[in-house]
Structure 1
Amino acid sequence: MAPAFDNRFSRRTLLQRSAVGFGSLALRGLMSAAETPNPLAAKKPHFPARAKRVIFLFMKGGPSHVDTFDPKPLLDRDHGKPLPFALPRVTFAKTSTLLKSPWQFRQYGESGLPVSDLFPHVARCVDDLCIMRSLHGTNPAHGGALLKLHTGSDTFVRPSMGAWISYGLGTENSDLPGFVTICPTLAHGGVNNWGSAFLPAWAQGTPLGNASVPADQAVVRHIRSPLSTSALQRLQLDMASKMSRNHLHMTGEDANLEARIDSFELAFRMQTAMPELQDIQGETEATQKLYGMDDPTTRNFGRQCLMARRFAERGVRFIQVTHSDANVQWDQHGDLIKGHTKNAAEVDKPIAGLLYDLKARGLLEDTLVIWGGEFGRTPTAQGGDGRDHNPEGFTMWMAGGGVKGGIAYGATDDYGYFAQENKVHIHDFHATLLHLLGLDHEKLTYRYAGRDFRLTDVHGHVVKDILA
């Protein structure tokens, strides 16, 4: 028979017997604070991934699909005639008759896919492209359409797709952010397009410059301190971190303070990694020429694409490159020929160079490259030779990262106004993007304000027919 437990001892005896235990509890708390894991550490996907990282080539303003990757013979035939069916219930502005494309389409590669004369360099990579011709969204205005594409919502502030991916997968390089956006536009949603909203602050994008800054000036500022050594900064950071951890120990969890501590640590580590990454002088002359760095027309966007490759090969998870001109962009309500010719000339060679370079280095296989804008353009004319916004049907393409190359998926109607065959909503695009990264869009959730949120909200289907 077990002896009865004797609970007759004084408080002094209790303290004497448990003193060592209190000390171990305190030590455990201090050690856990000192060994807080990096929240951006690489995480396992839900299932085997086809892609490890994403490069998103964003064409701000909405390039015209019927002038780039979606040829329409009937549009050429019926030039000047009225559109033979009803317009969408909501349109951005008034347009007139059908406007044929000023550019010819030619077939390229073993696939024979047609590409317009606007993109002769990208056309030579067509066998690596999965051209999705049946995208459609919900908003005909730039602001709403940009937010829809980047965050899945055009009505509420939501985390961006890059933030969701950083949250779900972390980064493969602890010395660099998980999400970088190069020369992003500050208009039409601005920081919300790369923000983390209610996700932890460490998941948000790190902007380098903005659309009004030349690419060679789009760098991490203040990367070196002229006033203190690295050793002194380390001591200062350790002291600040210790004070913050003590505060957390007394007050409990504070996501904002924890994110600030993490950002200080990342900034310190970036002082070692970023100077070398931002210095492209080590790139060969042939490589720089491949990206168009030798030509004033292509130099700016070429540098952005080259930096995207350098970030990708160093383990950054999501890299966005934005082509945005404050005067023209891709938003040609008038002067379509002048505007699209200028824009395509600036990006065509750099994009092809990026695809060639990734493929030569063995990176294209597990790097998903995406090209597109927030919507397309109407097949009807506006302002003489311009086109209006069109979210009803447009084109984006993917390359590498587990998608089939040399295919065109889906279709718009005979004139290019509405997505008609194998329609791909923006939610479907996001679901497919996450799937290629090994993430189930229905399981990548975050509880906020009493409900579980996700990038695709309550929608989205993976487009399985484009998977390799």
Structure 2
Amino acid sequence: MEPIIADTFARMTRRQMFGQSATGLGLAALATLLGEETQAADKKPGQPGLPGLPHHAAKADRMIYLWQGGGPSHLDLYDPKPTLEKFKLQDLPESVRGTTRLSTMTSGYKKWPVVPAIKPYKKWGKSGLEISTLLPNIGSIADDICVVRSMNTEAVNHAPGVTFFLTGSQVPGRPSMGAWVTYGLGSAAAELPAFVVMTSSDKTRSCGQLFYDYYWGSGFLPSKYQGTRFRAVGDPVPYLNNPAGVSPEGRRKLLDGLQELNQQHLAEYGDPEIDTRISQYEMAFQMQSSVPGLLDFSNEPKHILEMYGPQVHEPGTYARHCLIARRLLERGTRFVQLMHSGWDQHGNLYTQLEGQCQDTDQPSAALVKDLKRLGLLDKTLVVWGGEFGRTPFGQGPAEKPNGRDHFGRAFSLWMAGGGVKGGHVHGETDEWAWNIVKDPVHVHDHQATILHLLGIDHTRLTYRYQGRQFRLTDIHGNVVRGVMS
């Protein structure tokens, strides 16, 4: 039986069940059995997942998505193409361009000047993985990461591209990946949310993208599965502290009374949002003690803080969020989503890209090293990437282009940790980095692979909404076995 059907029966009252069903006492007996199963699951610490999950042995039991908003240039970072240097400032051949869909910023161009990588590449580690010298710290973990050079998407603009990656649809309204994962698997964290989100931007905010709530929303899933956003300044979670004159004991007594009323209401109406209200009130109370400890770095060794870089001490920075993420993961949080904007270099490629790498390179590598040091990397899936890549031709004056446009036909991201083949390149593009010539990976394939590594069959984690069974990958997606160890 589908988990959502079981959950629906478990929440039905006796009156609702007889009123809405035609199977009478047989269904009543089934609902009783399912109710007993649900009650048993509810006794587990943290937030329980669905019965029957994981579907198979998981390679990873937690995940962090290092989201690089704006479209990192794969040509300048992860996919070396000597041909671009040879044809510098010459027009990209029409035979290569074809009828590829581009953004309106360059779709009507008359000149297509080729722009090679702005910095040289280097072979890193025992694997000899080629990564730009703009990313020396990520280069230092080359043997732990798998670079996927054959990603592709239909999206050509930011919001649809991000929405597609994180919810499976270019149109807002679907549950986010983190919501699907926590809905299916739950969380071992009793005092922290199962799904946490933190956002940051480049220092100059010269090309920052907006981060919309639906990037971590629950869509049509119960809202208790949406991500909890930690704010960059002030209290990380609003209204977490007690008002003046209210003691912890008084707040506990108030919540107990409120929970009793909500439980009565839930028993009468079976509304899953009442269940959400109960769990969120309790989580807020637990976080009053857990969050201050989470953000207290006084017990972190000096060399660990230095590993993340000087910005680790600055609230709201990507570096600080990387360290907080590691602390969340080791405390049982299931899914962490760090979203950092600043990769949208249309007219400042030669200045902004290097600065963006300086902000994110060291903390990203430090997180992987730190997880490995603690013995957590083997069971933690780490993904670094954005909504698309950038064009091999330049934007701006044809004789001196200074930017790159959005490009979803072929681009790169990397993965590390639980079940991922380290020191490996998956997929290949042509000499212009325009067409994929080997092992293409679509967005839905990427999503199916993430779920598989977490022990989830992407075709079986579904939720019935408006008469249809929905899933993260819609009706698409194939697991990419080539990235797995």
Interval containing the TM-score (normalised by the shorter chain): 0.7 to 0.9
Which of 241, 263, 271 aligns to 1:254? It is 271
Q: Secondary structure at the match of 1:280?
A: coil
What's the counterpart of residue 238 of structure 1?
Answer: 256
Which of 111, 116, 120 aligns to 2:127? It is 111
Which of 77, 90, 94 aligns to 2:101? It is 90
Superposed, 1:371-390 pairs within 5 Å as: 371-383=384-396, 384-390=401-407
Deviation, structure 1 residue 248: 3.0
What's the counterpart of residue 227 of structure 1?
Answer: 245
Q: Secondary structure at the match of 1:235?
A: helix
Deviation, structure 1 residue 224: 2.5
Deviation, structure 1 residue 79: 1.0
What's the counterpart of residue 25 of structure 2?
Answer: none
What's the counterpart of residue 360 of structure 2?
Answer: 347
Deviation, structure 1 residue 300: 2.3
In 2: Cα distance, 1:404 partner to 1:413 partner: 23
What's the counterpart of residue 144 of structure 1?
Answer: 160
Deviation, structure 1 residue 339: 0.9
In 2: Cα distance, 1:297 partner to 1:119 partner: 22
Deviation, structure 1 residue 406: 0.2
The answer to whether structure 1 residue 167 and structure 2 residue 183 are counterparts is yes
In 1: Cα distance, 2:136 partner to 2:315 partner: 14
The answer to whether structure 1 residue 359 and structure 2 residue 366 are counterparts is no
Report the CA distance shift for 1:294/1:255 in structure 2 as closer, same or farther (over 3 A).
closer
Contact 1:293–1:303 under 8 Å retained in 2: no
The answer to whether structure 1 residue 41 and structure 2 residue 48 are counterparts is yes
Instruction: Tell me the amino acid that sits aligned with residue 90 of structure 1.
Output: R
Q: Secondary structure at the match of 2:404?
A: strand
Contact 2:198–2:321 under 8 Å retained in 1: yes
In 1: Cα distance, 2:257 partner to 2:315 partner: 47
Report the CA distance shift for 1:334/1:117 in structure 2 as closer, same or farther (over 3 A).
same
1:427-449 deviation line (CA, Å, top 9, x unaligned):
00000000000000000111111
Which of 308, 326, 329 aligns to 1:309? It is 326
1:83-115 deviation line (CA, Å, top 9, x unaligned):
122344421021521111111001011110111
What's the counterpart of residue 202 of structure 1?
Answer: 224
Superposed, 1:47-66 pairs within 5 Å as: 47-66=56-75
Superposed, 1:66-465 pairs within 5 Å as: 66-84=75-93, 85-92=96-103, 93-94=105-106, 96-183=112-199, 190-209=212-231, 213=232, 217=234, 219-225=236-242, 226-250=244-268, 252-293=269-310, 300-324=317-341, 329-383=342-396, 384-465=401-482
Q: Secondary structure at the match of 1:430?
A: helix
Instruction: Tell me the amino acid that sits aligned with residue 409 of structure 1.
Output: H
Instruction: Tell me the amino acid that sits aligned with residue 40 of structure 1.
Output: Q
TM-score, normalised by the number of residues in structure 2: 0.84
Deviation, structure 1 residue 269: 1.4
Contact 1:104–1:116 under 8 Å retained in 2: yes
What's the counterpart of residue 5 of structure 2?
Answer: none
For the aligned residues, what is the CA RMSD? 2.3
In 2: Cα distance, 1:241 partner to 1:421 partner: 56
Instruction: Tell me the amino acid that sits aligned with residue 154 of structure 1.
Output: Q
Report the CA distance shift for 1:298/1:62 in structure 2 as closer, same or farther (over 3 A).
farther
Contact 1:223–1:275 under 8 Å retained in 2: no
Moved more, 291-300 or 81-90: 291-300
Deviation, structure 1 residue 334: 1.0
Deviation, structure 1 residue 42: 4.9
Deviation, structure 1 residue 36: 6.0
In 2: Cα distance, 1:266 partner to 1:218 partner: 16
Q: Secondary structure at the match of 2:415?
A: strand
Instruction: Tell me the amino acid that sits aligned with residue 228 of structure 1.
Output: V
Instruction: Tell me the amino acid that sits aligned with residue 169 of structure 1.
Output: L
Report the CA distance shift for 1:73/1:141 in structure 2 as closer, same or farther (over 3 A).
same
Q: Secondary structure at the match of 2:263?
A: helix
In 2: Cα distance, 1:431 partner to 1:350 partner: 27
Instruction: Tell me the amino acid that sits aligned with residue 471 of structure 2.
Output: R
In the alignment, structure 2 segments of 5+ residues that lack a partner are 1-34, 202-207
In 2: Cα distance, 1:284 partner to 1:463 partner: 38
Report the CA distance shift for 1:281/1:220 in structure 2 as closer, same or farther (over 3 A).
farther
In 2: Cα distance, 1:34 partner to 1:408 partner: 45
Contact 1:375–1:389 under 8 Å retained in 2: yes
In 2: Cα distance, 1:386 partner to 1:218 partner: 38
Deviation, structure 1 residue 82: 1.3
Contact 2:149–2:413 under 8 Å retained in 1: yes
Contact 1:144–1:188 under 8 Å retained in 2: no
Report the CA distance shift for 1:187/1:78 in structure 2 as closer, same or farther (over 3 A).
closer
Moved more, 137-146 or 228-237: 228-237
Q: Secondary structure at the match of 2:187?
A: coil
1:316-351 deviation line (CA, Å, top 9, x unaligned):
011011222xxxx11001110101011000111111
Contact 2:312–2:319 under 8 Å retained in 1: no
Instruction: Tell me the amino acid that sits aligned with residue 199 of structure 1.
Output: L
